């Protein structure tokens, strides 16, 4: 399965009010493994970033002046994302900006190019209800080193989110591995003949039986004499 972790930086918070994408970072996972086939684009937004946005990403208006417009990188981006499962933290924000950029150049929306969009913020809220689930918070919680994240950057944030996503879904790896091993060994395990084995039977000692009986009495007392083994025990025959 091909997955792309995607992040954007923008001139502000509202695509509907004219804010634009200035940076796109993508990290590729193939069968949940990092491939190194990443994509990093800076884009000239044809407008200045808001002051608050500059404090977040630190990408100056001057730096972006000689960068390509979105229209010039759209084919490269869409070819890279084609048919992949896209993973984004707070997906409505990034998808909203990407859709607005595509709309400006008369292209179909993102849903026409990608197989699926997974929102790790939604995942995190389900996994850690009532807790902070920002990217930094998830990095701290899951042991992902984010010491280099002094400012937001699309590629750096995508790389961090890739590690976060892998950690959040690590249980899936165990299930996949277990299923693979079971499928590979099921036939072999059924064909093993154990009839020739002489397995010893180790009986409990008198001391072990006594300790077991004491434990049962304590459990029965703590349950108000309602333990299952007493209820199901056969009545004494006179």
- In 187-229 the beta strands, taken as DSSP E runs, fall at none
State the Cα–Cα distance between residues 57 and 80, nearest whole angstrom.
24
- Contacts for 96 with CB less than 8 Å, ≥ 6 apart: 15, 16
Catalytic residue flag (residue 196): no
State the Cα–Cα distance between residues 104 and 166, nearest whole angstrom.
34
Answer for the pair 62, 85: CB distance below 8 angstroms, yes or no.
no
Q: State both tokens at 237.
A: 């025959």
Coil, helix or strand for 215? helix
- In 33-133 the beta strands, taken as DSSP E runs, fall at 33-34, 39-42, 85-88, 116-119
- Contacts for 113 with CB less than 8 Å, ≥ 6 apart: 78, 81, 82, 83
State the Cα–Cα distance between residues 11 and 21, nearest whole angstrom.
6
State the Cα–Cα distance between residues 27 and 85, nearest whole angstrom.
12
What is the enclosing helix (H) or strand (E) of 163? helix 154-168
Closest by CA to 158, choosing from 30, 1, 29, 21, is 29
The catalytic position among 40, 50, 89, 152 is: 152
> Which active-site residues does the annotation give?
152
């Amino acid at each position: 399965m091909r997955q792309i972790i995607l992040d954007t930086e923008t001139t502000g918070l509202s695509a509907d009010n004219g804010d634009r994408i200035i940076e796109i970072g993508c990290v590729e996972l193939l069968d949940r493994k990092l491939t190194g086939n990443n994509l990093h684009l800076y884009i000239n937004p044809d407008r200045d970033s808001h002051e608050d946005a500059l404090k977040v990403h630190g990408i100056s208006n001057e730096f972006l002046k000689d960068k390509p417009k979105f229209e010039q990188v759209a084919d490269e981006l869409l070819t890279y994302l084609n048919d992949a499962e896209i993973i984004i933290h707070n997906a409505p924000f990034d998808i909203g900006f990407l859709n607005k950029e595509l709309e400006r150049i008369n292209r179909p929306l993102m849903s026409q190019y990608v197989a699926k969009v997974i929102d790790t913020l939604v995942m995190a809220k389900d996994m850690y209800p009532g807790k902070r689930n920002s990217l930094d918070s998830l990095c701290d919680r899951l042991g992902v080193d984010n010491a280099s994240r002094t400012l937001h950057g699309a590629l750096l944030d995508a790389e961090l989110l890739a590690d976060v996503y892998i950690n959040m879904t690590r249980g899936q790896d165990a299930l996949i591995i277990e299923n693979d091993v079971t499928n590979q060994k099921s036939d072999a395990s059924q064909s093993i003949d154990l009839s020739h084995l002489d397995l010893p039977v180790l009986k409990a000692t008198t001391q072990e039986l006594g300790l077991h009986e004491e434990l049962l009495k304590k459990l029965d007392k703590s349950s108000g004499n309602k333990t299952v083994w007493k209820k199901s025990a056969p009545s004494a025959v006179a």
